[in-house]
Amino acid sequence: MKTIYYFLFLSIFALLSCSNNNTKGEIAADEIHEKTIENKYVKITYNSVVFKKDDVPISIINDTVDNFIKLEIKEFRESIDKDIKELIDSGETSGKYELNIITEHYITTYGFISVIIEMNHYTLGAHGNSTFKSINYDVINKKFINLTELGHFEKKEELERFNSLLEKYFIDKDSCFSDKPKIDKDFNTFTIQEDSISVYFAPYELGAYACGTAEILIPISELP
């Protein structure tokens, strides 16, 4: 039986073939090391990445990553402004509001760039929380891509097949998670790696906060 990978990688290679085999050009990434913004009440740390093709910046994805990180920082600061003012007025120093943004990336030999951004928030509660943002870009055809178009998830049977693969490759070594991994057609937190697709789940999506995040790698070897 054909799996989701048959359609997924047919889609990838179909996209590449539309480029008249124009796959020449080296794609590289320069990592921007962690930066810190800190005062008495707030600590924000983040890192980023800049992509190039043949030493020329790939502006569309660089700007997308940069603008997302800037917006995340701006919205975090705006969300805690009122609380910080109350702390200042009261003279209390019960801890710092923290935002830690971790950016990782993958570049495939067939022209895809994937970025996964994890945002860890702490706002003086019992514990913090984490969320994910993924950005996937087809350098050859100059377009952003999503999991639905790669997986043909408008077809119910293909979505069901993908969910069965998620369950198959889900590793819950501590038997902590209470729910089986499952996505709908609008799910888009994933990366394309050289020989696999990685799907990411934030805390609470599959179980209690203590279970943490989950990453599921589905290998290309699932191809028939």
**pLDDT tens digit sequence for 180-190:** 999 999 999 99
Mark whether 47 and 127 lie in a shared domain. Answer: yes
The 10s digit of each residue's pLDDT in 165-175 is: 999 999 999 99
- Region class of 36: left (phi > 0), else alpha (psi between -120 and 50), else beta: beta
For residues 162 and 138, the answer to whether their CB atoms sit within 8 Å is no
Mark whether 121 and 190 lie in a shared domain. Answer: no
Identify the domain containing residue 19 by its residue range. 1-23+146-224
Mark whether 163 and 211 lie in a shared domain. Answer: yes
- pTM of the entire predicted model: 0.87
Output the pLDDT for position 13: 47
Mark whether 120 and 161 lie in a shared domain. Answer: no
Angle between the 156-169 and 4-17 helix axes, to the nearest 10 degrees?
A: 110
More reliable by pLDDT, 50 or 83: 50
Residue 204 pLDDT exceeds 80: yes
Mark whether 122 and 191 lie in a shared domain. Answer: no
Mark whether 157 and 196 lie in a shared domain. Answer: yes
